[in-house]
Amino acid sequence: MRTLDPFLIDQDVTAAVDSVLRDILGRRQKEAEAVDSLFAADIADRVARFTLRGGRRLRPQFVWWGMRACGGDAAVADVTLQVAGALELVQTCALIQDDVMDGSPLRRGRPSVHVDIDAQYGTQGRERPCGTFGRAAAVLAGDLALAWADDSFAEAMTGTPSAGPATALWRAMRTEMVAGQYLDLHAQATADHSPAQAVRAAMLKTATYSVERPLMLGATLAGGSATAVGALGEVGREAGVAFQLHDDLQGAFGDADATGKSAGEDLRGGKSTYLLAVARERCEARGDRVGIRVLDRVLGARSAVAEEEVAEEEVAEEEVAEEEVQRVLELLVTSGARDRVVEQVEQLCSRSEDALERADLDPAATARIGRLLREACGRSGGNGAQRVPGSGPVRAGTEGARIGGVR
């Protein structure tokens, strides 16, 4: 391992991680070229470009500052950056395959990988048993990214004193991510729109591998105590759920220029989210049958209300029309669902910050983690208030609520 100056890396963690990623990906691309040039050009190079050309590098930064919070120094700086690079490759896998499953046309302001491959070969309308050629190829691209992530992590662990506990965290993180994605798909297939199930999927799919596990990995690499590792895990668990709920808000109300995805894409695709689950719960509580029908049209599911009144208004199974998207956006506001989720994001962020303060770790690193948490939760404005794009400042409501039992 190289000997690096962690104080210099502190000044620009993203640049340091990008440098490591370029090295990792350069070596992997050469290996792919040695196997087959077509495979390298179509798949390996796309994985490399996707990884390098976007993303906020939040997960790598959480790894780094988790390490620094527990007193990590030059002895573990290089291995921490290597693990950070491996984490970003896990993110590449997750995003590429998530876009396939959701049918998302855009990612990071560009065509999704499966859309890009189909455009290259003109195979957009040629369905195969597993979707178009582009979708099938993108699944393989995601698999390759995950294989590269595992290879990079294994290389980083060679000769590392904390290899045992760090590897246990890595394995848990991968399984949790896949489990969360499956629960997300399962909810859509079975029309399970309960808020508790939506939060469970969010915790596994996003919260654990986005914030909780990266912080714990960094602390473990630094040789942090069990108490410190556990404290950072608590910090990350609260903030990770807030991160996903804020992402749900962005998916519904966000600006495409800021999110890199089409505005309202989650709604058009009928994606089940906690935000929609809260709206349904509120409509059911007040007997709003019209509101339930609006949600059923978006989610493509026949509820009891939709079945009773199917002759009056059929539930749409095709892609949701733009006017339906607007109706749902209005319902999310008028039902109070949007403000409820905004409030819950605020509560989770505050609990995360309180847990971070109680952890009593390195002050400078703690301050940086706090800034990252606020950014992840959409609270990076000057006054720390959360903002929902297109709506101006959003004020939290008055309901004090726990989210699906998450404390």
pLDDT band at 152 (very low <50, low <70, confident <90, very high): very high
CA geometry: angle at 167 spanning 164 and 170, to 5°? 155
Which region among 60-64, 232-236, 387-391 has the lowest average model confidence (pLDDT)? 387-391
Q: Taking residues 135-152, report their average pLDDT.
A: 97
pLDDT at 317: 40
Residue type, 319: E
How confident is the model over 286-299, as a mean pLDDT? Answer: 86
pLDDT at position 115, please?
95
Rounded Cα–Cα distance for residues 168 and 124 (Å): 41
Q: Tell whether the model's pLDDT for residue 299 goes beyond 90.
A: no
DSSP 237-280: HHHHHHHHHHHHHHHHH--HHHHSS-TTHHHHTT---HHHHHHH
Any idea what DSSP says for residue 320?
P
> Average pLDDT in the 382-391 region?
50
What tens digit of pLDDT does each residue of 60-100 get?
999 999 999 999 999 999 999 999 999 999 999 999 999 99
How much of the chain exceeds pLDDT 90, in percent?
Answer: 62
H or E segment and range at residue 107: strand 106-107
In whole angstroms, give the CA distance from residue 25 to residue 319.
Answer: 37
| Measured CA distances, 266 to 62, 99, 328 (Å) | 27, 11, 11
Span 16-57, pLDDT tens digits: 999 999 999 999 999 999 999 999 999 999 999 999 997 889
Contact at 8 Å (CB) between 97 and 104?
no
pLDDT higher for 319 or 76? 76
Query: Is 149 in contact with 142 (CB distance < 8 Å)?
Result: no
Domains observed in the chain: 6-260+349-376 (1.10.600.10)
Both tokens of residue 243?
């991160």
Helical ranges in 261-336 per DSSP H: 265-268, 274-285, 289-299, 304-308, 322-334
Look at residue 403 and tell me whether its pLDDT is greater than 60: no
Angle (nearest 5°) at CA 66 between 61 and 71: 125
Residues 259-279 have a mean pLDDT of: 73
Higher pLDDT, 397 or 27: 27
Span 341-346, mean pLDDT? 94
